[in-house]
Amino acid sequence: MRTVAFVVKGYPRLSETFIAQEIAALEARGLNVRIVSLRQPTDGAIHPVHRAVRAPVHYLPEYLYRAPLRVLRGLAQSAARPGFRPALAAWLKDLARDPTPNRVRRFGQAAVLAAELPAEVDRLHAHFIHTPASVARYASMIAGLPWSVSAHAKDIWTTPAWEKTEKLASCSWAVTCSAAAHAHLGALAPGKVTLAYHGLDFARFPAFLRPAGGDRATILSVGRAVEKKGFDVLLNALALLPTALNWRLVHIGGGALLPTLKRQAASLGLAKHIEWRGAQPQDAVLAAYREADLFVLACRQVRSGDRDGLPNVLMEAQSQALPCITTTASAADELIVDGNSGILVPPGDAAALARAIGEMIADPMRRESLGRAGDARVRNVFAAERGIDQLCVLFGLEEPRAAAAAQ
């Protein structure tokens, strides 16, 4: 049985359901997984899919100075291996271009990982091409193991080109989850990068027959309160809605900007219309999709280059026949056919967003039509099994369909 160590930034995380979904599905197909986390968990709850994952979790020292003996032992054991010198040379080259404490921490974590890897592990796989890939790359060189990487959103658009190029040259293969990211990474490493959408496990998002809307439209938005999600733009758009419209906003998600957003909502006179629920487990989010009348996500690209890939929450909302409005800043246009299965507006344009929201609130029949079309498209095109099939081939699992049927 193949055994792969998945290197992730933190586990479990409410905002990274797709990783747990992927691991659970690969385990069901016969892959033996070990999870390696660079950080301890910080969320107060977990999703049901996390309980389905069988893989044990191995936590590396998050800060090297807090585990000096463990780090020194890892360095000493790693230094005795033939791959240590090439790994050290690669790290020193990277450090010269990125002289940060973060870069130092990644090599220390890699040495600990290489020293503590179970003997049965025959591959490392990093989720995200920034810090987890750094640890996986250095550790793979020390341990003499192949490594691969799944690249997603922020990690792609905020990592320097030199670093992405060298990591892609070093790994055996890479996958990414949007056509835009695939084009970008594929240009850096022709022939090495595969497009594999995360998709949805529809067993966890069964079809929902949406009832007729009531007198007040409930708008739902799910996402961390960070700049690229554009929640300040959404608030500005809501402030522009005609006063005759009857609506409320439900926000689900944690994030550092929540206090700022709440102050903005109060200053705009919107506080009484908004319910801030904070981070929630998946079953609570599913219930919120079913209770809502409209889903809005105001994504945008920020100065650092950070932007969303294909937000999973859009697929989740559409699987519940919930009509969606979002922007063209992410890869949402790969999911949503504008005017047919959802509405796309320019990023950062509060007036355009307000017009779209206002029109949808005022037209329940249009909401129903877009919701049905979105549900049909996500179920026809974005089933998780397609991406898992691709990963099974890349991980070298034999007859993945037969393995799944035997479960």
pLDDT (tens digit per residue) in 373-382? 999 999 999 9
Our CA angle for 177, 178, 183, nearest 5°, is 115
CB 290 within 8 A of CB 320: yes
Coil, strand, or helix at residue 301?
coil
Q: Are 130 and 7 in contact (CB under 8 A)?
A: no
Q: What is the pLDDT of residue 169?
A: 97
> Residues with Cβ < 8 Å from 47, sequence gap 6 or more?
12, 14, 17, 20, 281, 282, 283
Using DSSP, state whether 229 is helix, strand or coil: helix
pTM over 0.75: yes
Q: Do residues 374 and 323 make contact, with C-beta atoms less than 8 angstroms apart?
A: yes
Alpha carbon distance, N-terminus to C-terminus of the chain: 15
pLDDT at 404: 44
- In angstroms, rounded to a whole number, what is the distance separating the alpha carbons of residues 44 and 29? 30
Alpha carbon distance 265, 115 (integer Å) = 51
Rg (CA), the chain: 22
Residue numbers of the chain with a pLDDT score lower than 50: 400, 402-407
Please provide the size of the chain in residues.
407
Residue 64: predicted pLDDT: 96
What's the pLDDT at 42?
85
Q: Which two tokens stand for residue 4?
A: 């792969």
- Please state, in angstroms and rounded to a whole number, the distance separating the CA atoms of residues 48 and 53: 9
- The per-residue pLDDT for 398 is 64
330 contact partners, CB below 8 Å, separation of at least 6: 153, 178, 299, 307, 308, 309, 310, 311
Share of the chain above pLDDT 70, in %: 98
Residue-wise pLDDT tens digits, 366-400: 999 999 999 999 999 999 999 999 999 999 986 54
Domain residue limits, the chain: 3-199+383-405, 217-381
Of 141, 137, 188, 184, the closest CA to residue 165 belongs to 188
Looking at residue 403, what is its pLDDT?
41
d(CA 22, CA 200): 10
Q: What is the DSSP letter of 383?
A: B
SS3 4: strand
Same fold across 3-199+383-405 and 217-381: yes
- What whole-number distance in Å separates Cα of residue 297 and Cα of residue 218? 14
Q: Rounded distance, CA 78 to CA 97, Å? A: 24
Q: Which of 47, 27, 43, 35 is nearest to 9 (CA)?
A: 35
d(CA 118, CA 174): 23
3-199+383-405, superfamily in CATH? Glycogen Phosphorylase B; (3.40.50.2000)
C-beta of residue 217 within 8 angstroms of C-beta of residue 294:
yes
Neighbours of 116 (CB within 10 A): 16
CATH 3.20.20.70 given to domain 217-381: no
| Phi/psi-derived region of residue 105, left when phi > 0, alpha when psi is between -120 and 50, beta in every other case | alpha
